[in-house]
């Protein structure tokens, strides 16, 4: 099966794992939407790398935790390029700290970006996938979602929730030839993990 000509949206696609995913998809002939929220320079670097290798891509700035922004961004992609065929929910943040000292805001921000963001983005693209009877949603979770880690109760809860979201979405969408899977990497050195 070829992916050439498909349209992908990779959240958190400007750096780290997201950048690697963007580069790989583009090398397979996929037109890649590189989502970022606050670092346009990193997104432009990813775009330039894809174009230098002969690929096609575009940048898309929005906060995955903002329902209005997600809907507007997906509508812009759909209007300009066609519906999203592949969604990689990769956007993620950390706000580490022991639970006894964790601020409520640190809990909320991590759950909003890492779990709610995947829900909002998936919901925004799934109708187009269902209508075409083809789509791929890949959720980037973590071994922390399975094993837990001291000082990361918010991150662990979000990633464990993402596993549950993945399993339930897969059951809902399978009949429409839309697959939903997750990848759970271990520790990988990226900007996010280097402090």
Residues known to be catalytic: 155
Strand ranges in the chain using DSSP code E only, listed in sequence order: 7-10, 31-36, 57-61, 86-89, 135-140, 178-183
Contacts of 65-69 with C-beta under 8 Å, sequence gap 24+, read 65/112, 65/113, 65/116, 65/117, 65/120, 66/120, 67/120
Q: In the 8-state DSSP scheme, what is residue 13? A: T
User: How far is residue 146's CA from residue 173's CA, in Å, rounded to a whole number?
Assistant: 24
> Closest Cα to residue 136, out of 186, 89, 92?
89
Cα end-to-end span (Å), the chain: 39
Q: Are 65 and 113 in contact (CB under 8 A)?
A: yes
């Amino acid at each position: 099966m070829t992916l050439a000509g498909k349209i992908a949206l990779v959240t958190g696609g400007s750096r780290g794992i997201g950048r690697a995913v963007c580069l790989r998809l583009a090398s397979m002939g996929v037109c890649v939407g590189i989502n970022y929220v606050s670092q346009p320079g990193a997104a432009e670097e990813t775009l330039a790398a894809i174009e230098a290798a002969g690929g096609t891509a575009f940048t898309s700035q929005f906060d995955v935790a903002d329902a209005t922004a997600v809907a507007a961004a997906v509508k812009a992609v759909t209007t300009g390029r066609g519906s999203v065929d592949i969604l990689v929910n990769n956007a993620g943040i950390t706000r580490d700290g022991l639970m006894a000292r964790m601020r409520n805001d640190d809990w909320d921000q991590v759950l909003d970006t890492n779990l709610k963001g995947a829900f909002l983005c998936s919901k925004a693209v799934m109708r187009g996938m269902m209508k075409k009877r083809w789509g791929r949603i890949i959720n980037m979770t973590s071994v922390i979602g399975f094993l837990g880690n001291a000082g990361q109760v918010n991150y662990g809860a979000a990633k464990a929730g993402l596993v549950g979201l993945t399993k339930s979405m897969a059951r809902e969408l399978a009949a429409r030839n839309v697959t939903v899977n997750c990848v759970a990497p271990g520790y990988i050195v990226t900007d996010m993990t280097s402090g």
